Amino acid sequence: MRFGSKTANQPLRAVSLAVLLPFLAATLGIPGGIGYGSGVAYAQEQKPYLGILPLARRGDVGVLASARIEEYMRAMLEAGGSVRLLTTKTIDLGKASGSAAVAAAKDRPASPALKALDKADTLAVTGRTMLEEGEDTADALKLLAAAIDRYEKNFVELADFTKLVDAYAQAASASLALKQDKDARAFVTKALTIQPTFVVDARKANQDLQALVTTVRDSLQNATLSDLTVTSNQQDAEVFVDGVRIGTPPATARGLLPGDHYVQVRKDTATPWGQVFTAKGRPQTVNAYLVVDDPTNEIEVGVQPDDIKAFASTGKFHEKVFKNMAYLFSKQVRADYLLFGVVARSPRSLELHLFLFSAQQKKVVALEKVDFNPTLSDMQMKMLDAEGRVRAAVTTWPLAREVLDLPIVYGGTGESTVAPPEIVPEPEPEPEYVPPPKPKPVPEPEPEYVPPPKPKPVDPPKPAPETALPDPEADPYAGLLGPDPDEESHWYSSWWFWTTVGVVAAAGGGTGAYFALRAQPTNAGFKAVALVP
């Protein structure tokens, strides 16, 4: 039990812990079973149906301890999601429940008790929230007390007694905060009376409550315990004491602590019955009279439930008579698997031994045992182990140990074997066609920029040559008749000839002047003559 939080350590609240493991169900490969109702095999992906037989007891194991273990196991298996559980009603009747009876129960209008319980839930949640958020403690205590009052007065249709125990714990915590120690002790005593195994978490905020729970539990160790036997006019009804199912009438709850206990008797087609029983340290009996709303169905039962339940006490799962009866019983209740078990006491623990029968294989396998603390304080974690072993046996069948002799817990040799796995070669998967990737369009390259050519400089137009005007004195008819024979050119009339003559004359004149001006001795008889053309 977790106080100061919304989680409690109870069988039905165990679902809240199990939902932390959703991957367990997601990773299962549940094999198909036989659909006995229709004669058609279940599909591979469907979950098989599992029927849980009442646990047997060996040694001095009490009924309540065995019942609590069975209810925790049922809650864990249901939350784990590996199987679909048959109702205890179906197992006790030895046949599938009639659809008409179930429909009538579902269509029954909500009773005043159920409406009052809904109101109690709202009050309890509000009060708990106020405590967690540190709001007015006195107002929170009033809300919790009002919720407790509604739970106690309408318990006849209360399915989850964890709510009541949690309300007791929250009210005790609020009372301690308000220094109301006497009221806190009374709330804790009521909680321990109907659920002796609850614990308080070790958070600092709950240290005072944890100390009070330990003190009250120690004071109840030497209390005189009581036994209660419940009978009824409906032999196939279900009997609950403090929310724990103890069987069908007549059923006996042993080892009850002094104080008030809540007895409920239910049947799908009858109005629920309830009574508050005050344990006073001596055996007592109460009789429940149920008013039936609808007659029971007429499905024929070949194997009686008590006949098949007896094997949980004898352990003769290896005998042929058991296998035949278990197979027929599985057809009656439409189960793929039946789960048997026995709770035994060892010097240091309580042991849970489980045996699983497969209707398809007609075989029984032994699962690894689960060891509990004698006070069942570790029940939640251990039940996770039990759920895992049942799931493994269902999913890996037939790899678990087949029972071939009386198990050791029943005084036998415990001989068993592990069947070799059937090796079926898996077909090679055809290669998956992968279409070739589409080529990505290649973008066209942008044209390279080419600067336009520079225009070549255009020379300005040359001016047209001026046309010489005709010489008025020139002969306009000259040259018409060809060249004049009298004017035929000669070499001495060329320009180059006269240029040469000019150069020679100039050179000669210069030379003569040079020598004339130069002082020379008188030379008689010398005479210079210069010829100039």
238: CATH: 2.60.40.10
**Same domain, residue pair 364 and 318:** yes
| Per-residue model confidence as pLDDT tens digits over 89-115 | 888 888 876 544 454 455 556 788 999
Using alpha carbons only, what angle is made at residue 354 by residues 349 and 359, rounded to the nearest 5 degrees? 175
Whether 73 maps to a domain, the answer reads yes
**Same domain, residue pair 233 and 281:** yes
**Same domain, residue pair 70 and 137:** no
pLDDT of 59: 82
Residues 475, 480, 483, 486: what is their CA dihedral angle, to the nearest 10 degrees? -50
Identify residue 194 by its one-letter amino acid code. Answer: I
pLDDT of 237: 92
Using alpha carbons only, what angle is made at residue 30 by residues 27 and 36, rounded to the nearest 5 degrees? 160
Whether 522 maps to a domain, the answer reads no
Query: What's the token pair of residue 459?
Result: 């020379």
Let me know: does 75 contact 19? Beta carbons within 8 Å.
no
Where do we find the tokens 């497969």?
A: 358
Q: Which domain holds residue 308?
A: 31-35+42-94+303-418
Whether 396 maps to a domain, the answer reads yes
Q: From 389, 418, 447, give the residue that closes a domain.
A: 418
DSSP state of 292: B
Kindly report whether the global pTM for this prediction surpasses the value 0.85: no
Let me know: does 225 contact 283? Beta carbons within 8 Å.
no
Query: What's the token pair of residue 159?
Result: 């399915």
Identify residue 477 by its one-letter amino acid code. Answer: Y
The CA distance from 427 to 434, in Å, is 20
Please state, in angstroms and as integers, the Cα–Cα distance from residue 439 to each residue in 130, 432, 433, 445, following that order.
Answer: 66, 21, 18, 17
Domain count, the chain: 3
Whether 347 maps to a domain, the answer reads yes
Query: What's the token pair of residue 121?
Result: 């839930």
The CA distance from 1 to 170, in Å, is 11
pLDDT of 461: 63
Residue 267 neighbours by CB under 8 Å, 6+ apart = 234, 236, 237, 238, 290, 292
Whether 351 maps to a domain, the answer reads yes
Rounded to a whole number of angstroms, the CA Rg of the chain reads 59
pLDDT of 392: 86
Which of 468, 406, 336, 348 lies closest to 41 in space, CA to CA?
Answer: 336
Identify residue 491 by its one-letter amino acid code. Answer: W
Query: What's the token pair of residue 433?
Result: 């066609």
Question: What kind and span of H or E run contains 224?
Answer: none
**Same domain, residue pair 330 and 282:** no
Please report the DSSP string for 430-486 in residue order: PPPP-PPPPPPPPPPPPPPP-PPPPPPPPPPPPPPPPPPPPPTTS-TTTTTT---GG
Whether 486 maps to a domain, the answer reads no
The neighbouring-strand residues paired with 240 are 245, 264
Whether 376 maps to a domain, the answer reads yes
Helices assigned H by DSSP within 255-364: 305-309, 311-314, 320-333
CATH number for position 322: 3.40.50.10070
**Same domain, residue pair 89 and 121:** no
**Same domain, residue pair 132 and 190:** yes
**Same domain, residue pair 215 and 230:** no
**Same domain, residue pair 410 and 317:** yes
Helices assigned H by DSSP within 345-414: 379-395
Which of 382, 390, 370 lies closest to 9 in space, CA to CA?
Answer: 382
The CA distance from 275 to 114, in Å, is 16
Query: What's the token pair of residue 422?
Result: 């059937």
- 157-196 in b/e form (b: 16+ CB < 10 A) is bbebbbbbbbbbbbbbbbbbbeebeebbbbbbbbbbbbbb
pLDDT of 468: 53
Whether 314 maps to a domain, the answer reads yes
Provide block-wise average pLDDT over 10 residues at a time, the chain (533 residues). 40 40 38 35 62 89 85 87 87 71 54 91 93 90 96 94 94 94 95 89 76 92 93 93 93 94 91 92 92 58 87 91 92 91 89 92 89 85 87 74 87 67 55 66 67 68 58 56 53 70 77 65 52 52
**Same domain, residue pair 209 and 243:** no
Identify residue 407 by its one-letter amino acid code. Answer: P
> What sign does the dihedral 115-118-122-128 (CA atoms) show?
positive
CATH number for position 157: 1.25.40
Q: From 172, 194, 219, give the residue that closes a domain.
A: 219
pLDDT of 164: 95
The CA distance from 475 to 481, in Å, is 13
Angle between helix axes 112-132 and 162-177 (nearest 10 degrees) is 40
**Same domain, residue pair 348 and 369:** yes
Identify residue 107 by its one-letter amino acid code. Answer: D
Residue 57 neighbours by CB under 8 Å, 6+ apart = 63, 66, 342, 343, 344
Burial-class residue 40 by CB neighbours within 10 Å (0-12, 13-18, 19+). exposed
Let me know: does 169 contact 191? Beta carbons within 8 Å.
yes
**Same domain, residue pair 181 and 136:** yes
**Same domain, residue pair 366 and 263:** no
Let me know: does 68 contact 11? Beta carbons within 8 Å.
yes
Q: From 199, 219, 239, give the residue that closes a domain.
A: 219
Let me know: does 279 contact 257? Beta carbons within 8 Å.
yes
Q: Pairing state of beta strands 49-52 and 84-85? A: parallel
